[in-house]
Structures are given as structure tokens and as C-alpha cells.
Chains A and B, each alone.
Chain A
Amino acid sequence: MTFGNLSSKIRQMPSTHSVVMVALLPNPIKNRNIPPKRLDEQRLDEQRQTNREVLNEVLQRVLQRLTCKHNPSAESGYYHLLCADGNFRRCNPVLAAWFADCPGYSNLHHLEQHVCFWCECPKNELRDYVPPETGHPWQDYNVYRTLSDAITKAANAELWLRHVYRAFNVFRHIPCIVSDLPNPNHFHTMLIGMLDNLQKWIFHYMKTHERLDKYNAFWLSVPVYHDLTPRHKLYEQVSQLNGKEMKEMSRYLVGVVTQSLRGRNPAQHPMLNHAIEFTRTLVEFYIYARY
């Protein structure tokens, strides 16, 4: 736990004790009650369910005092909190961002995997472009709480349609806008999520179009310019790129792809141009998001 108004310099110094450990989120042990004859996928599902339930139980214990049930004044967004000097004060705590990747967010919110935790976008429309004015409705945790409490078939069906698990989730009982909690996260969504995938796609694309040798040659020949780290390994020889390398890669990737696809067959020309354009737009988006 930390406070948002501290400067990052102070927050990152261990000697200032500005970050307080509240709880350790456990890594549950393997579920030994499941018979070994079950299919692997079923075993995994049950293990995931156990993990999710344990995580929610711990979060419930940590955030219990903030729930409306324990603190009737919480409905208004304010709490009467006992401070270190022994006085009660009227506070308005705001839950802020946390780091988690997509499966982590799904577990925290008690949603199915591969579901958007901001809006109620159907699973089969996740790949589609949604113009800002025609967005999907936001996740409404008040509705989920009501549906979870109502033990009826209709409520179950409604939860199933919205890809929400029926169980206690502490965030459905805290007066906060839960959709705002998963703030944009460069690392998991853009670097590990999109740019890493882009590299894999480009690799397969170059392989399919017999351009891999050229691509590797250009990849290795990127000059050490403006603090770029020199490259000594081909893409397929690198097991993992770290965040810094990804950031550096975003600076020259479009150039490398464009040069690799030069001197191309006129019949393939539009498709190869699309590949360059795709790389350019994704890198452009990443740079805008960082700016």
C-alpha cells in the first residue's frame, strides 16, 4: 500500500518506508482432491477456480473494512477512519491502479478469461474496431452484485451471458468505479502484449515470404546510434527481450521491415505494403501512448 501523492523518487526509496506491505497474495497449493483420471483441461479449470477463490478470499479480508456492510457511511464515499494520532477523521480513500496482466485482472474482477474488464464487449467482438462514440456499456458491478445475491436461474443466465462468475467479489461491495482500476499498463499490454506479438507475426511473415535472411541481416546491421544497444543475435536466437530492448526495437522496427520487403514481387506488392503499414501503425500507436 502506498499513497498516490508521493513523488516517485520518494516512493521508490526503501529507506523512506513509503510502501507498506498489507498482505501477501498467496500462490495456492495444487488441488490434490481432484482424481488423476480427469482430463487435464478439467483439472486445470478446477485448479484455476481454486486459485481464484483463494485470491478473492484474501482480498476480502484485506478490504473488508472498506465494504458498505462494515462501514455504513461508505455509501457516500466517505469513511470515518481512526488515524495514527488517535483521532477519527473523515476520509475519502480512492483505490488506484495495480499491476496485473490480463488473466490477473480477470481473476481480480471474478470474470471469465479473455474478457474485457472495462466494458461488456462480447468475446467474439474483441478483435473488431470500436469507434469511440459507439462503445460497449461499462462493466456494472452493482448489477453483478445484485445478480450474484439473487439465487435464480434467470440471474445465473444473466451472469453467464456477461461472462461473470457467481461468487463473492469484494470490489462489488466497495463504492468505487471498478472499471477505472485497471489503468493503462504499458508493460503488459503494449510491450509484452502487442510488440512481442508483432515480432512473432513479422518473423512468421518473413519466413512465409522467404525474406527471413534479409530481415535478419537488417536486424543485425542496425547501427549503434543514439544509445541503441548493438545487436549480436538473430531474432530466433533471442529467448526473451526485456523492456528496454523492446523500447529500442520500436525505434527501428519499421525501418528494418520496410528494408526487408524492398525489391519485392509486383504481384505481392499490396500485401507487403499492408505488412509495412500494419507495423508502422502499431509502433506509432505505442509511441503516442508513451508520449
Chain B
Amino acid sequence: MEDSLRRFHTFKDVFLLGRAGNKVKAKANARRTEHMKQRKVDEETNTETWTPSTKLCEMNAWWDYISHEIVVSKELDDDIDFPKIHLMAHYVEQIPRYRALQHYSAERH
């Protein structure tokens, strides 16, 4: 069990992006809104100088930039820190003391 737990902690970062909590999502959305406003300001400022093709290129560049920023934001803010991961460490101690978990399971025995 201990070896499984150690390896679990070694590889857990691979799912970091999948564990975006509500706070992280809200923060990322706020950042996205801010970037969208900047994009709009940029568009309005250069509306006379940009040709349609330039505008398309610029908008695509903006979109790539915003997507990248959101991913980075989620990576930086996200954290697998919910207590159940920590509780698994106590299982490793408790099971040798109290044997298997069956008496504390919701199953019918």
C-alpha cells in the first residue's frame, strides 16, 4: 500500500488540469474576461488601419494568447489539495492496526 501511495504521489501531477475547482475556474474566467476587454480595445483602436485579413490574423493571435493564458492560469492556481488525498496516507497506518476496512464500509457483510 505504501508503495502504491508513493507512486500515486509521483504521478498525480499528470491530472492537474483535470482538477480545476470552482475557485480556479472563476479566477480563470475573470482573467479571460479581462483579456477579452483588452482585445476589444485593441480592435477598436486599430479598426481603421487593419485590413480584413490582418484583422483575422490579429484575432486568431489574440485567441491563441488568451487560451494559453487560461491554461497557464489553471496550471498555476490549481492544486490537488483536497483532504481525501491526505486521508489515504492514514489508511496505510490504520489498516495494519485495525485490519481490513470491511467493517467500516457501507457494504452489507
Contact = CB atoms under 8 A, between A and B. Distances in A.
Contacts of B81: 114, 123-124, 126-127
Nearest to A7: B109
Contact of B95 (A12, A102, A184, A271): A184
Interface residues of B, number: 44
Contact of B90 (A12, A114, A184, A187): A184
Interface string A102-138: 1000000000001110110101101111101001000
Interface stretch (B3-11, B39-47, B58-66): B3-11
Interface string A53-75: 00000000000000000000000
B106 A99 contact: yes
A197 interface: yes
Contacts of A118: 87, 90
B2 A132 contact: yes
B89 A130 contact: yes
Given A184-B98, A201-B18, A204-B18, A129 B106 contact: no
A245 to B, nearest CB: 13
A111 to B, nearest CB: 10
Residue in B2, B6, B88 whose Cβ sees the most chain A Cβ within 10 Å: B88
A135 B6 CA distance: 14
B15 A187 contact: no
Contact of A201 (B19, B89, B102): B19
B77 interface: no
Interface stretch (A28-36, A151-159, A225-233, A274-282): A274-282
A193 interface: yes
A291 B101 CA distance: 8
B80 A132 contact: no
A123 B106 CA distance: 28
Contacts of A18: none
A239 B107 CA distance: 21
A147 interface: no
Contact of A187 (B13, B83, B86, B105): B105
A204 B90 contact: no
Nearest to A124: B81
B101 A289 contact: yes
A290 interface: yes
B7 to A, nearest CB: 4
B83 A115 contact: yes
A289 B82 contact: no
A183 B109 contact: no
Given A115-B83, A116-B86, A127-B79, A281 B7 contact: yes
A194 interface: yes
A200 B21 CA distance: 12
B98 to A, nearest CB: 6
A174 to B, nearest CB: 20
B68 to A, nearest CB: 14
A185 B105 CA distance: 6
12 contacts: A8-B103, A97-B103, A119-B90, A127-B82, A132-B89, A135-B89, A187-B105, A205-B18, A208-B17, A274-B13, A278-B15, A282-B8
Closest 7 CB pairs of A and B: A204-B18, A129-B9, A201-B18, A193-B84, A278-B11, A187-B106, A201-B15
Interface of B: 1-2, 4-9, 11-15, 17-19, 79-95, 98, 100-109
Interface of A: 8, 12, 97, 99, 102, 114-116, 118-119, 121, 123-124, 126-130, 132, 135, 183-187, 189, 193-194, 197, 200-205, 208, 243, 271, 274-275, 277-278, 281-282, 284-285, 288-291
